């Protein structure tokens, strides 16, 4: 990957702050998360407004990342370089606010689903007071980012875990129409998969409650203009058809048919 501009003369960087935590996720989940630039403006939507991939190779990626509130004039060009042993990576700011700065991360596997994370922030600022202020801001942002990442990695780890095979039943009684409508949106399992029953223009519609991209739970996403948006990467789907509405080409798993029989709501294979 080549930077957009000729590299500037080296600037001395100083250690502004350190963030440490134990993350309840395996090293492979963390690698997946670090490579996954696409989740930045979705999962971390309160921090980032947009992210455009500029290049990718075996070592890492380069992106143009726009922080909230979304002024493209303040976008940063960031370069991720993974360590060859997989036990860490560096994110360098190549352009935009904070250039040049480095985030250096060391990953230490502790157990099957636990990894130690050590993050250091290095900036071109020598004044101790300014450094302390920058470091405190950095730690607070990173705490939130890792909270969000850890929740996603744990949910993904759970979604990928092997589970006993469950046959799809021929029919499932969800309850009386009045009860069901009072409990909407209603999550239910139908054989091996989870679905959610919602009301759309008065009709009861079931849709898959798991995103076909990286298996994010869609339990709590609002239905807006007949569509849902996945919280992890913002892929969008039409609730009634399950079709992708953003050109990604994915489709929600087919739901059971919902019928009203003698006042009861029945899910049918
Ligand atoms: S898990 Fe990636 S868009 Fe849903
Ligand atoms: Fe993240």
What CATH number does residue 28 fall under?
Answer: 3.30.530.20
The reply to whether 2 falls in a domain is: no
Q: Which residue, judged by its Cα, is nearest atom 1 of ligand 1?
A: 214
The reply to whether 5 falls in a domain is: no
Q: How many domains does the chain have?
A: 2
Same domain, 40 and 88: yes
* Domain stops at, among 133, 160, 187: 160
How do residues 28-62 score in pLDDT, each as one tens digit? 999 999 999 999 999 999 999 999 999 999 999 99
Pocket test for ligand 1, best of 148, 160, 216 (most atoms within 8 A of CB): 216
User: Is a pLDDT exceeding 90 seen at residue 166?
Assistant: no
What is the full DSSP assignment across 20-64?
A: EEEESS-HHHHHHHHH-GGGHHHHTTTTEEEEEEEEE-SS-EEEE
pLDDT at 235: 98
Same domain, 233 and 135: no
What CATH number does residue 264 fall under?
Answer: 2.102.10.10
Rounded CA Rg of the chain: 23
Taking the centre of ligand 1 as the mean of its atom positions, its distance from the CA of residue 217, in whole angstroms, is: 9
Same domain, 192 and 220: yes
What average pLDDT does the structure give for the chain?
95
Taking the centre of ligand 2 as the mean of its atom positions, its distance from the CA of residue 84, in whole angstroms, is: 21
How do residues 175-209 score in pLDDT, each as one tens digit? 999 999 999 999 999 999 999 999 999 999 999 99
What range defines the domain where residue 236 resides?
171-268
Residue 11 binned pLDDT confidence (cut-offs 50, 70, 90): confident
pLDDT at 6: 59
The reply to whether 237 falls in a domain is: yes
Same domain, 153 and 189: no
Query: Is the dihedral angle over the CA atoms 13, 14, 19, 23 positive or is it negative?
Result: positive
Q: What angle do CA 132, 137, 139 make, to 5 degrees?
A: 95
Same domain, 114 and 197: no
Is this structure's pTM higher than 0.95?
no
Same domain, 154 and 210: no
CB 57 within 8 A of CB 1: yes
Same domain, 123 and 195: no
Residue 4 binned pLDDT confidence (cut-offs 50, 70, 90): low
Q: What's the rounded Cα separation, in Å, for the pair 174 and 206?
A: 12
User: Is a pLDDT exceeding 80 seen at residue 149?
Assistant: yes
Taking the centre of ligand 2 as the mean of its atom positions, its distance from the CA of residue 147, in whole angstroms, is: 9
pLDDT at 1: 47
Same domain, 33 and 137: yes
Residue 64 binned pLDDT confidence (cut-offs 50, 70, 90): very high
CB 227 within 8 A of CB 239: yes
Same domain, 150 and 203: no
Same domain, 80 and 204: no
Is the distance from the beta carbon of residue 230 to the nearest atom of ligand 1 less than 6 Å?
yes
More confident residue, 1 or 70: 70
């Amino acid at each position: 990957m080549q930077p957009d501009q000729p590299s500037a003369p080296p600037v001395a960087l100083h250690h502004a702050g350190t963030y440490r935590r134990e993350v309840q996720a395996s090293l492979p989940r963390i690698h997946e998360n670090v490579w996954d630039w696409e989740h930045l403006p979705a999962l971390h939507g309160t921090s980032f407004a947009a992210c455009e991939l500029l290049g990718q190779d075996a070592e890492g990626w380069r992106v143009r990342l726009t922080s909230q509130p979304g002024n493209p004039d303040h976008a940063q060009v960031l370069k991720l370089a993974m360590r060859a042993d997989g036990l860490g990576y560096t994110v360098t700011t190549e352009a935009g606010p904070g250039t040049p700065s480095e985030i250096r991360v060391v990953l230490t596997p502790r157990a099957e689903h636990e990894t130690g994370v050590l993050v250091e922030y290095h900036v071109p600022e020598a004044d101790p007071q300014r450094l302390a202020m920058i470091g405190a801001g950095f730690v607070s942002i990173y705490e939130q980012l890792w909270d969000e990442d850890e929740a996603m990695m744990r949910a993904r780890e759970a979604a990928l875990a092997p589970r006993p095979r469950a046959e799809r039943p021929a029919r499932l009684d969800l309850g009386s129409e009045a009860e069901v409508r009072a409990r909407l949106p209603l999550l239910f399992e139908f054989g091996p998969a989870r679905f959610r029953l919602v009301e759309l223009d008065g009709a009861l519609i079931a849709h898959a409650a798991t995103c076909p991209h990286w298996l994010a739970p869609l339990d709590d996403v609002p239905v807006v203009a007949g569509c849902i948006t996945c919280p992890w990467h913002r892929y969008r789907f039409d609730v009634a058809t399950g079709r992708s509405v953003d050109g990604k080409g994915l489709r929600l798993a087919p739901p059971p048919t919902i019928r009203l029989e003698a006042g009861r709501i029945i899910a049918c294979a």
